[in-house]
Amino acid sequence: MATTKKINANGTEISVLLHGNENDYICLTDMARYKDTNRTNYIIQNWMRSRSTIEYLGVWEQLHNPNFKSIEFDAFRGQAGLNSFSLTPGEWAEKTNAIGIYSKAGRYGGTYAHKDIAFNFGMWLSPTFQLYVVKEYQQLKEEQNNPLLQRWDVKRILAKANYTLHTDAIKNIIIPHLSVAKKKKGLIYATEADMLNLALFGYTAKDWEEANPELSKKLNMRDTASINELVVLSNMESLNSELIKQSMPREVRYDVLHRIAEEQLKILNEQNAEYRFKKLTNETIIKR
């Protein structure tokens, strides 16, 4: 049974049906949205009007499909390129018994094509876009073939490390002490988080978003941090939770955390820890 995954090719989200082998299918409808979000069917049919496309589809079927109807294919090839010629993916599949393209209904509905054919469609749309699709698909396959990578997003793991300790300390110590209303509790969390951001990065999350309006639509400031910075941030969250329990004033905590951040980041950078961490991760994956 196929597993549906998503890739993002230069801002275009595309569904991929993974079959656990080389017969994966990519959604052409999603790819067509790169050109026009409202005329995806027209774009696909326009691609299929070309004689070179029909010939490519026919050769692919002859190589992979023993039940392909060559006579019907020859008829389409003879008409391809004419102004009066039009062909839908459904008609192609039905009349030639093709398996490379098919239409799918339901939640992830649309026109799907074998990855070979999808890459050909991507090249027709835009050579640059096709490169993004291939790159993201290959990364998806690497994650699928390496279970360790599939759930091992080191930046997100480090960003979340000690987060529970940190938020529990805020909830149990700071909020009861200030007696703030429940609706204002979120502000307390954000303030503490931004204190850590200031101590480590020198700016708040809002400052970063205002300075990076386009990038902030997809990522947050911690997503763009280095591994070394996230290691230090994890340590800071743990330390801050202890300082909160000791009722240490915010100003004092900030000075302590800022000093720790500078010291630890300097050491990690000097030791090139990020490079060695990545190397270790890759070696671990290979051994598995």
Looking at the fold, whether 265 and 205 belong to one and the same domain comes out as yes
Residue type at 137 in one-letter notation: Y
pLDDT at 284: 43
Domains: count for the chain: 2
CA distances from 270 to 103, 248, 260, 266, 267 (A): 55, 31, 15, 6, 5
The domain boundary, picked from 102, 123, 145, lies at 145
Phi and psi torsions of 93, nearest 5°:
-65, -40
Looking at the fold, whether 9 and 141 belong to one and the same domain comes out as yes
Looking at the fold, whether 24 and 80 belong to one and the same domain comes out as yes
pLDDT at 285: 39
CA distances from 104 to 27, 216, 252 (A): 9, 34, 60
Looking at the fold, whether 163 and 272 belong to one and the same domain comes out as yes
Per-residue pLDDT for the chain (288 aa), expressed as one digit of tens each? 678 899 999 889 999 998 877 789 999 999 999 999 889 999 999 999 999 999 999 999 999 999 999 999 999 999 988 888 889 999 999 999 999 999 877 666 799 999 999 999 999 999 999 999 999 998 888 777 665 444 445 555 555 556 665 666 766 776 667 666 655 565 566 688 889 998 999 888 888 888 888 878 877 887 778 878 888 888 898 899 889 989 898 889 999 999 999 998 888 777 765 555 555 444 443 333
pLDDT at 178: 66
Q: From the centroid of its chain, how far is CA 281?
A: 20
pLDDT at 175: 61
The domain boundary, picked from 114, 145, 176, lies at 145
Looking at the fold, whether 124 and 198 belong to one and the same domain comes out as no
Looking at the fold, whether 73 and 189 belong to one and the same domain comes out as no
In the sheet that holds 3-9, the strands lie side by side as 3-9, 12-18, 25-27, 110-114, 101-104
Looking at the fold, whether 25 and 117 belong to one and the same domain comes out as yes
Looking at the fold, whether 125 and 167 belong to one and the same domain comes out as no
Looking at the fold, whether 169 and 279 belong to one and the same domain comes out as yes
Looking at the fold, whether 12 and 50 belong to one and the same domain comes out as yes
Q: In this structure, are residues 162 and 243 in contact, taking their beta carbons and an 8 Å threshold?
A: no
The domain boundary, picked from 93, 113, 145, lies at 145
CA distances from 7 to 156, 191, 251 (A): 18, 34, 44
Looking at the fold, whether 132 and 163 belong to one and the same domain comes out as no
Q: In this structure, are residues 100 and 117 in contact, taking their beta carbons and an 8 Å threshold?
A: yes
Looking at the fold, whether 54 and 169 belong to one and the same domain comes out as no
Quote the domain boundaries for residue 243: 154-287
